[in-house]
Structure 1
Amino acid sequence: MYRVTGTVQLHNIGRRRAYAIWGTALSVYVLAIFHRTSLGVAGLIAADRFGINASQLATFTVLQLAVYAAMQIPVGVMLDRFGSRALILSGLVCMTAGQLWFSTAESFGTGLAARALVGAGDAMVFTSLLRLIALWFLVRQAPVITQLTGMIGQMGAVIAAVPLSAALHRWGWTPTYAGAASLGVVLAIGVVAVIKDSPYERGAAEKIKIRALRHSLTEVWRDPGTRLGLSVHFTAQFAPTVFALLWGYPFLVSGQGLSPTTASGLLTLMTFVALIAGPLIGRYTGRLPYYRSMIALGVVGSISFVWAVVLLLPNPAPLWLLVILVSVTAVGGPGSMIAFDLARSFHRSERYGRASGVVNMGGFVASLLTMALIGLILDRLAPGGPETYTLDDFRIAMSAQFLLWGFGAVMIWRYRQRTLRRVADVPGAMDALRGGSTLLPGISRDHDDD
């Protein structure tokens, strides 16, 4: 993507080696998404296995995402210090151990601990992959590659939605989750053999000193570009995450009266819609970087509008409308990826890991808040458990999403204005932004374009 000033470039970028490294890391990300979403279709089975109610069921995913979000800043710091390969390997070890532990868990507490370990491993993968993209691909390639990363990664959700469901019913809990855990061992071999942290000489990445860490993180947080990226990720990502990871399947089955097969099919459809939308959004955000946050607002507005229509209907929605609902909701995933392109525009490369970590917290904080709120509301309205949920219960519970959409939209608009004022204060930066550049002079351009 660019040559770091004062260092020696050892490998070509944007070529076959770059794609091999990306593909290997991407396979780990697909596995991470699979582990993350593996409770999506197993929620009712998990409730029966552990003897828990809706709030406790939500706690599995909420804790997993809470660990994920809490680790983003430490992971960002470690990423800038140790590189992508070390963190991806560490993430694989944690996810494999956590999923294997979960396969044998029989108590609620043990299951929680296992999911927390899965969340810790998951937290190390995505930002490590983003850093590889930032270093190994050209500026014009990066937005589309980033979108493809997010969307292809969602194939893990497809595997979790259909094959995992079938495996659980055929082979049972322990063999299914233990088999899923074993995939991490195979992928670890590929990571060691293929992934290289940087095309530049060793030592190009900044080595973080403990005494400078607080100052560095403060500077990253104070940058309005960081807060704009955080707001975009917060607002756009949580709806598809909440729907795919936990509450979409019960909403479709218990609330809308669909069969389990149809509900699983709709969850799978979300992934394929996102696969189509991702490159399109990447293309337009790459061409029109000045309007990136406005594109994100358009995505959020569309999702909230369709949800309002579905929830206001007096009866279960027709299947064609539910298809529209899941399709529009799925676009929130690609929309949230705009946040990382914003982070790349407003931070120099040696801070990209920390900035991406902060930004990546947004959507997962919003997701865990929404999951918890929905679970609490359902328990209040239907204390008898999942068997007693009604459409009216889901109408009220799923409406909690509007609180976060409204808050997030205000934050996006607020920090868009602050970010534009910052760009306007730097000579040449606004012209570069309006001209289609995502690396801005005086802000992010501490590199020579390759």
Structure 2
Amino acid sequence: MVEPEAANGAGPTAPRSRAWVVWGAALAVYAAAVAQRTSFGVAGLEAAERFTVAATVLSLFAVVQVVVYALLQLPVGVALDRVGSRVMLTVGAATMAVGQLAMGLVDTVPLALVARVLIGAGDAMTFVSAIRLVPAWFPARRVPLLTQVTGIIGQLGQVVSAVPFVLALHQLGWTPAFAGLSALGLLAAVAAVVLVRDRPAEGPLVVWTPPPLMAGLGPTLRSAATWLGFWSHLVSAFSLHVFLLMWGYPFLVQGEGLSSAQAGGLFTLSVVVAIVSGPFIGELTGRYPARRSLMVLAVAVAILAGWLIVLIPTTPRPLWQLAVFVVLISLGGPTSLVGLDIAASFAPAERMGSATGVANAGGFIGAVVVMLAVGVVLDHRSGGAAAGLADYRAALWLVVALWVVGVVAVLVTRDRVRRTLVHPGDEAR
């Protein structure tokens, strides 16, 4: 199909050193957000003990966080178009810091859920704000690659949650570990205030009357490209989120019988895969924009193959097979950014934030559905006892079910975009 890059200009001309400083600061804020986002995924077993809850209630902690993230993507996109990345990054980092401090102090489920709401809300403001800076500070030809690099370097925050946070959790305890994450969030907020600027050569304040808050949402939501981006993001990212944010660590430790160190090593491997594959995917996206959806579908097949490695066998897999599984599903992380690129490249500048926000919700909405459903199945099968491999295998087949829905949706919306390009007037109907 034809998926041309939008003609949004050749990109800004900015002092090179200043552009890299701004981008680097945004990267640091995003990496801190990823550490906050994924921290609960490695603390699930300790959380079950602290709050004395079964799998369904435990899954609510991650589900609430991700639901808030997904629901806020559209309003965050609209707000981003109005106030800019610097404000959104600062507020997001500070909100997550408050949420993590609360998470470390409370010991009841309702208050812990409030803390997860704050973490999800702050996280929702971060990534789309960071990548919005890329076309503002760099030439258009660099945007696909730098968007990928933003995503993959940001995933280094996952190493923070997989290694030092786990170590602090086990050695220092619950409250000090989460207080450390809160301090990280405050440092990120300071970095955003001091170093981030929305665009080059900010001059004297220009009085500007913003459009109505919801202006432009209709065209964004009617755009076939927005929904192609949404479903591309979903099918690429949702199963990885299920694995990293909630059920991967318990599955590896309780189901596959790995040690905490081995499970943490596989989480770190996921980051390595993103770092290695992301620039390659970004380069292909920039070089062959007309083949972006085909790239998404190819990676989706690889993700399915990864899940089948652990879902079909009835016995624990050797570590090397689990490593292959993690490698394959982790390709979905950088590939999900192709969905954002599709949505943004068809949107005019004034709607880029809202289009990207809608697309960025895809993987998280899919993850919410599966994470909660997996918890229900685990409780039903295990009766409140510790789940075993058979229980996890039965529950995680739900990943395959949503994968099928996502692939079909990509094919359908891909065809709609193709017809829109042939008959441009269809987009306004």
TM norm structure 1: 0.89
* Equivalent position of 1:98 in the other structure: 99
Matched, 1:209 2:207: no
- Report the alpha carbon displacement of residue 205 of structure 1 after superposing the two structures with TM: 8.7
- Name the aligned partner's letter for residue 207 of structure 1: P
* Equivalent position of 2:229 in the other structure: 229
* Contact 1:2–1:135 (CA under 8 A) maintained in structure 2: no
Matched, 1:261 2:264: no
Single out whichever of 153-162 and 197-206 deviates more from structure 2: 197-206
* Contact 2:92–2:124 (CA under 8 A) maintained in structure 1: yes
SS in 2 for 1:293: helix
- Name the aligned partner's letter for residue 197 of structure 2: K
Change (3 A) 1:220 1:256: same
Change (3 A) 1:261 1:204: farther
* Equivalent position of 1:180 in the other structure: 181
- Name the aligned partner's letter for residue 276 of structure 1: V
- Name the aligned partner's letter for residue 210 of structure 2: K
* Contact 1:100–1:181 (CA under 8 A) maintained in structure 2: yes
- Report the alpha carbon displacement of residue 200 of structure 1 after superposing the two structures with TM: 6.2
**Within 5 A, what are the aligned runs for 1:122-137?**
122-137=123-138
Change (3 A) 1:239 1:205: farther
- Report the alpha carbon displacement of residue 384 of structure 1 after superposing the two structures with TM: 2.4
* Contact 2:255–2:392 (CA under 8 A) maintained in structure 1: yes
**Within 5 A, what are the aligned runs for 1:22-101?**
22-101=23-102
* Contact 1:236–1:363 (CA under 8 A) maintained in structure 2: yes
Matched, 1:336 2:336: yes
- Name the aligned partner's letter for residue 178 of structure 1: A
Q: Per-residue displacement from partner, 1:74-132 (whole Å, max 9, x unpaired)?
A: 11111111111111111112111111111101111111101111111111111111111
- Report the alpha carbon displacement of residue 426 of structure 1 after superposing the two structures with TM: 5.3
SS in 1 for 2:42: coil
Distance 1:23 1:204 in 2: 29
SS in 2 for 1:337: helix
- Report the alpha carbon displacement of residue 206 of structure 1 after superposing the two structures with TM: 8.2
Q: Per-residue displacement from partner, 1:316-340 (whole Å, max 9, x unpaired)?
A: 1122111100011100101101011
Distance 2:352 2:30 in 1: 19
Distance 1:53 1:168 in 2: 20
Q: Per-residue displacement from partner, 1:267-293 (whole Å, max 9, x unpaired)?
A: 111111111111110011111111101
- Report the alpha carbon displacement of residue 204 of structure 1 after superposing the two structures with TM: 10
- Name the aligned partner's letter for residue 216 of structure 2: S
* Equivalent position of 2:399 in the other structure: 401
SS in 1 for 2:216: helix
Single out whichever of 185-194 and 346-355 deviates more from structure 2: 185-194
* Equivalent position of 2:366 in the other structure: 366
* Equivalent position of 2:291 in the other structure: 291
- Report the alpha carbon displacement of residue 67 of structure 1 after superposing the two structures with TM: 0.6
Distance 1:204 1:238 in 2: 42
Distance 2:316 2:400 in 1: 20
* Equivalent position of 1:446 in the other structure: none
* Contact 1:26–1:129 (CA under 8 A) maintained in structure 2: yes
Change (3 A) 1:13 1:419: farther
- Name the aligned partner's letter for residue 211 of structure 2: I
Change (3 A) 1:14 1:302: farther
Distance 2:15 2:8 in 1: 15
* Equivalent position of 1:351 in the other structure: 351
Single out whichever of 118-127 and 177-186 deviates more from structure 2: 177-186
- Name the aligned partner's letter for residue 231 of structure 2: S
Matched, 1:303 2:306: no
Q: Per-residue displacement from partner, 1:364-416 (whole Å, max 9, x unpaired)?
A: 1001111011111101101223x2x1111111111000111100101101111
- Name the aligned partner's letter for residue 122 of structure 2: G
Paired residues, what number?
420
* Equivalent position of 1:413 in the other structure: 411
Give % identity. Answer: 42
Change (3 A) 1:50 1:290: same
* Contact 1:224–1:419 (CA under 8 A) maintained in structure 2: yes
SS in 1 for 2:41: coil
- Report the alpha carbon displacement of residue 344 of structure 1 after superposing the two structures with TM: 2.1
* Contact 2:13–2:138 (CA under 8 A) maintained in structure 1: no
Distance 2:290 2:207 in 1: 30
Q: Per-residue displacement from partner, 1:34-68 (whole Å, max 9, x unpaired)?
A: 11111111110010001111111110000000011
* Contact 2:236–2:300 (CA under 8 A) maintained in structure 1: yes
Single out whichever of 416-425 and 28-37 deviates more from structure 2: 416-425
Distance 1:296 1:116 in 2: 31
SS in 2 for 1:28: helix
Distance 2:67 2:259 in 1: 31
Change (3 A) 1:206 1:142: farther
SS in 1 for 2:234: helix
* Contact 1:81–1:205 (CA under 8 A) maintained in structure 2: no
- Report the alpha carbon displacement of residue 420 of structure 1 after superposing the two structures with TM: 1.5
* Equivalent position of 2:142 in the other structure: 141
- Report the alpha carbon displacement of residue 261 of structure 1 after superposing the two structures with TM: 1.1
Q: Per-residue displacement from partner, 1:186-228 (whole Å, max 9, x unpaired)?
A: 2222222221111266669982214xx2x52111010110010
- Report the alpha carbon displacement of residue 13 of structure 1 after superposing the two structures with TM: 3.1
Change (3 A) 1:399 1:182: same
* Contact 2:254–2:389 (CA under 8 A) maintained in structure 1: yes
SS in 2 for 1:371: helix
Distance 2:70 2:336 in 1: 15
* Contact 1:80–1:205 (CA under 8 A) maintained in structure 2: no
- Name the aligned partner's letter for residue 316 of structure 1: P
Single out whichever of 200-209 and 373-382 deviates more from structure 2: 200-209
